Amino acid sequence: MAKKNKGASKISPLFTYDKPKSIISEKFRGIRSNIMFSNADKEISSILITSEKASSGKSTISANIAITYAQAGYRTLIIDGDMRRATQHYVFNLTNNSGLSNLIIGKTLEIDAIKETHIENLDVLTSGPVPPNPSELITTRKFRELYQKLATEYDFIIIDTPPVNTVTDAQLYAQIVRDCILVIDSEKSDKK
């Protein structure tokens, strides 16, 4: 068993912020451009990002795409829609005691649930405490109204959802947000 190097620093998943001139950052800007120009009829202002399986990198990809939008001057919001296994508060080093679940049930204010990040133009709506019924919260009128309100306040919204093969949440979010990126881990994916 390999020993963990106690002196090793943790690698930040925010490539596009930490190394904006790197090749990987350029690839994320390419993804942003593809999203922007993928619909000739109407500008895409929100997208959900999901994956086939857990641990495929969807939350890291969500964060980096959001950063590229923020860097381009778009007022951007990431919603951590994975209320069972939240990640974005770790990625951006934020608290998660108040967030999406609290907002939907009316137990907090938007100003307390949405957190500013250290990146200009980028805010995060963390998932909040794990509710007993995440799927049911997504289908409520309150969530739909919250999303519509946020869509008027932000230029671009990304919803980081749970994997599609574990729970129905991504499909439920897709009833509101029509555009989707499916992240597939080529090393873990079945090659059938």
Query: What CATH number is attached to the domain comprising 53?
Result: 3.40.50.300
Q: Which domain holds residue 144?
A: 29-183
Contact status, residue 124 vs residue 92, Cβ threshold 8 Å: yes
- Asked if 113 contacts 160 with a C-beta cutoff of 8 angstroms, the reply is no
What is the 8-class DSSP label of residue 12? P
HSE value, Cβ hemisphere, 13 Å, CA-based, for 134: 23
Q: Is residue 178 part of a domain?
A: yes
The answer to whether position 153 is within a domain reads: yes
pTM (whole model) above 0.85: yes
Rounded CA separation 150/153 (Å): 5
d(Cα 125, Cα 115) in Å, to the nearest integer? 6
Return the half-sphere exposure (C-beta side, CA atoms, 13 A cut-off) of residue 186.
0
Residue 14 in any domain: the answer is no
pLDDT tens by residue, 58-116: 999 999 999 999 999 999 999 999 999 999 999 999 999 999 999 999 999 999 999 99
First to last CA, the chain: 32
Q: Look at residue 18 and tell me if it is in a domain.
A: no
The count of structural domains within the chain is 1
Tell me if 13 is assigned to some domain: no
In this structure, is residue 156 part of a structural domain?
yes
Grade residue 35 by pLDDT with cuts at 50, 70 and 90: confident
Report whether 139 contacts 145 (CB < 8 A): no
pLDDT for residue 11 is more than 70: no
Residue with tokens 């979010």: 173
